[in-house]
Structure 1
């Protein structure tokens, strides 16, 4: 394990700026005028470092709103916080999803992966586990926020990038692309999966794990509750903003539309709370409730409702409090459907 320099956690924008500066001296014609004011390479390097530092500073200049912290890079394109409270919740959700899959990081039948990327890596916990499990693979974790740790495996690096923008990986493709829990984070999953296809090696695999964001109950106990009102209001705001809130059951078709073959789908149940009789589902439900208790209801709702439905912070907190109270009731049997879908880019 080594500690990377801060330059390793750079943005795609920074990389493009550096490349542009390096090639400027070769441009003698056209619309870009060359600055020939440098007396030596040292002065040029000082200015380049200054620009890089400025760009890094802009990424770390987080947005603070309603007592929570949000990303600044591509400000507003992601509506959940990136503060320590949210990062703790995301690490709890990592344990939840591991429990759902019986401690498996992924289900795709990959063999000897060499180049891997984890999309919207969050705290980077999945990427760290994967890099430890596959020390021969070069692993990238990308996210809008540089909130990942610095003490990481030597075969892992983190980038700040917007996965909904055009990718720059086509000439250096991956043999495994992973994404998990992008519900309410992505506006165009179809486009995203086409970018994945373009950036996957022939024979390589892509795996998405995601929810159908709207919960339900098999016995009708969810109807008419504070939980139902919460998800109706909050997801309504996300839908107003253009985000996909039910990606799980649609993933299979998006994979096929993008061109993947050998598409495989598995659906799992995530109950909320410890009411299930089955021991495995009881553990899953305990992790799910722990994630909600970690200010999950507030974090999901605050930006969406205050920015798109003009709610006050106080109104959001009341709604979240009602949802949390219902979440603790043993006679409300709320369940989410969780999908794991993977597909392969054809060999030829």
Structure 2
């Protein structure tokens, strides 16, 4: 994977970036106390689900989800997915749909598709395309869908899934022969190609701690590294994995990556508490105040554009064999893997120069 060139305008000592919130508040009025969720650590969390969900479901988090949707669209060259599903899918399932924005955009783009978005929280809007609908469901429970799907999608299942092989296996059984499953997720392992960010700076310290907490409570944030393996083991063929660099701030020289970095920086500033409060409480017994003190370094250093840190966004997809008689043992031993800066391009074809 090649390096991203840093913008020299931000190389001066102490250069920082300041940004106002990109989106306003948006909430959905829910009357039932069960559907409204539960309040903990000053945030609202889902009240439904077998294993719980470690991220809030309040208005601030919905704004962050929608902001990340825009960022991922830019990252994937304005595509919602990478799997070669064809131009007229019929039945599509969006797991962990969150605010529902991916499902709504997919339904708009593919009028032929009946799109179902499921989530443990009823936080989706009422006004949606006629071919899009939502249901409350916990995807870690046994699937009970009465129809099979042409395409199943999930994105950023953070602090959500404790048994990924079971989930992937259920998706395999719920797909029609020839159908695709695509898993997308940010891998919050900090990288820095030019050693500009010391290990004790905010992004590395935060990332290490939140990954440690996720492993203790059973929602390991490192699982995206295993997506391709889980797809193969479940029986999927034509497995492909692609990785994209996501700068944690607007430090790149490349304008597109600079804007992507600005989105990710804002996500970290706005979402640091969302990532940490529940996980740190469960893993370490920390209070809200202790967590907020810990987050000071992250909020300070993520705005320092002399620190050229980035995460990876992993996309892995696979196809259920078209031959209904094909056994799972017939799947290939290894996936096609690419490390790219934009979809469909190998590293040598990508344009941003090295640092």
Instruction: State the Cα RMSD in Å.
Output: 1.5
Shift of 1:75: 7.0
Q: CA–CA distance in 2 between the matches of 1:272 and 1:306? A: 25
1:70 aligns with 2:52: no
1:235 aligns with 2:217: no
Equivalent residue for 1:290, pick from 248, 260, 266:
266
Q: Equivalent residues in 2 for 1:144-293 (5 A)?
A: 144-169=120-145, 171-220=146-195, 221-293=197-269
Structure 2 residue aligned with 1:337, among 303, 307, 312? 312
Contact residue 231 and residue 239 of structure 2 kept, 8 A:
yes
Matched residue, 2:336:
none
Q: Deviations over 1:296-317 (max 9, x none)?
A: 1011100111232111111111
- Count of residues in Structure 1 that have an aligned counterpart in Structure 2: 291
Work out whether residues 222 and 334 of structure 1, in 8 Å CA contact, stay in contact via their aligned partners in 2: no
* Higher-Rg member (1/2): 1
TM-score normalised according to structure 2 size: 0.79
| Counterpart secondary structure, 1:277 | coil
- Equivalents in 2 of 1:69, 1:154: separation in Å? 29
* Match for residue 114 of structure 1 among 75, 90, 110: 90
Tell me the CA shift for residue 85 of structure 1: 0.5
* Cα shift readout 1:88-133 (whole Å, capped 9, x = no counterpart): 0111110111111011101111121000010000000000000011
Distance in 2 between the 1:120 and 1:63 partners?
18
**Equivalent position to 1:143, from 119, 124, 129:** 119
Q: Are 2:274 and 1:299 equivalent residues in the alignment?
A: yes
* Alpha-carbon distance, 1:74 to partner: 2.3
The runs of at least 4 consecutive aligned structure 1 residues that moved more than 4 Å come to none
- How many angstroms apart in 1 are the aligned matches of 2:98 and 2:266? 18
Task: Find the aligned partners of 2:51 and 2:289 in 1 and give their Cα distance.
Answer: 21
Task: Say which structure, 1 or 2, has more relative contact order (CA 8 Å, 6+ apart).
Answer: 2
Mark the runs of 5 or more structure 2 residues left unpaired by the alignment.
1-30, 324-355
Q: Distance in 1 between matches of 2:269 and 2:203?
A: 13
Q: Which has the higher helix share?
A: 1
Q: TM-score, normalised by structure 1?
A: 0.81
Matched, 1:324 2:299: yes
Structure 1 portions without partners, runs of 5+: 1-55
What is the aligned counterpart of 2:73 among 91, 98, 103? 98
